[in-house]
Structure 1
């Protein structure tokens, strides 16, 4: 069963108009996530918001292009949307089902708009939904907080840096947030991995605990080679 990373509205005009404070930081974090996510079987989807009347010049306009911090590589589909939700009037749902995706991770802009609307529609369609907190930004701090509280109440998983291991796809999501883990690994690789594994144990239960501790033991003894999936 595949996992999809959906990058929403990471466009220059969206950053300038709706997320001038945190938009570019979110875009950079989303790009780190995109690079780490490109494992076999996973899907990366870029979503672009366009004006229904074409007043923005359409998908090929300089007005609507993605921020320079985010790369669209070959094999990463782009979905054009004309409403807040990435599912509204788009082929996104069919695309995900064609790839056997049941779990989606959302990143991008803005929390109160594209992120919230897409998350709610995804839940309605039966997907398990996570939001990658370092890779999103809101229009206002209060709106950002209130929206996340509402999404949490609806059943959306909010992924902090130290919570990625709790997700069913442990290796992939740990990779999404691996920049922070890699910095700590530079100061003590095996010790960092043990701390990450301990947090995962608390969240994932006894069975997952034993699995991750065995993996940690193997990785600690081959840290120079095996820690690359944390980056």
Structure 2
């Protein structure tokens, strides 16, 4: 599967978030800040893409490395054994690092049509690696209850 454009990914993630909220699922928006402060550093406020701004009750995770679990305290805020549904940008970087870390204590589904990266080869390889590690690959329509026809 070819990676989506940035706007296509944002639209897909927005649809996923709406569906998650309707189902009463927790939503955990993750943002990346650089420790060298080139984007404001640890005190900075990285902007979320338009339409993906967190709600007041969301658990917002700020990461400084690839994984949303590395040094963020996220692991301790999720019940062990919970099922995570993952979407986002940088399939072969932040998405894959977070999924591989999550698989230690959780089952994980990656929404293949709500993740993206510029390189088709890197995107596909990352999806294969996450699946080989134990993550399931699902499509947005499966979550939304839409038929494939």
The aligned residue for residue 85 of structure 2 is 105
Q: Which ranges in structure 2 are unaligned for 5 or more consecutive residues? A: none
Change (3 A) 1:101 1:26: farther
SS of structure 2 residue aligned to 1:105: strand
Bigger RCO (CA 8 Å, 6+ sep): 2
Between the two proteins, the alignment pairs up a number of residues equal to 146
CA contact (8 A) 1:45 1:78 kept: yes
The aligned residue for residue 53 of structure 1 is 36
In the alignment, is residue 139 of structure 1 matched against residue 103 of structure 2? no
In the alignment, is residue 35 of structure 1 matched against residue 6 of structure 2? no
Distance 1:92 1:131 in 2: 18
Q: Deviations over 1:83-131 (max 9, x none)?
A: 000000001111112xx6610011001100011000100112x200110
CA contact (8 A) 1:22 1:137 kept: yes
Change (3 A) 1:161 1:74: closer
TM-score calculated relative to the size of structure 1: 0.57
Shift of 1:70: 1.3
CA contact (8 A) 2:110 2:135 kept: yes
Distance 2:126 2:48 in 1: 24
Distance 2:89 2:81 in 1: 22
The aligned residue for residue 114 of structure 1 is 94
CA contact (8 A) 1:111 1:139 kept: no
SS of structure 2 residue aligned to 1:44: coil
CA contact (8 A) 1:111 1:144 kept: yes
The aligned residue for residue 60 of structure 2 is 78
Alpha carbon RMSD of aligned pairs, Å?
2.3
Bigger radius of gyration among the two: 1
Q: Which ranges in structure 1 are unaligned for 5 or more consecutive residues? A: 1-18, 165-172, 182-191, 197-231
In the alignment, is residue 24 of structure 1 matched against residue 33 of structure 2? no
More helix by share: 1
TM-score calculated relative to the size of structure 2: 0.86
CA contact (8 A) 1:111 1:136 kept: yes
Distance 2:27 2:140 in 1: 20
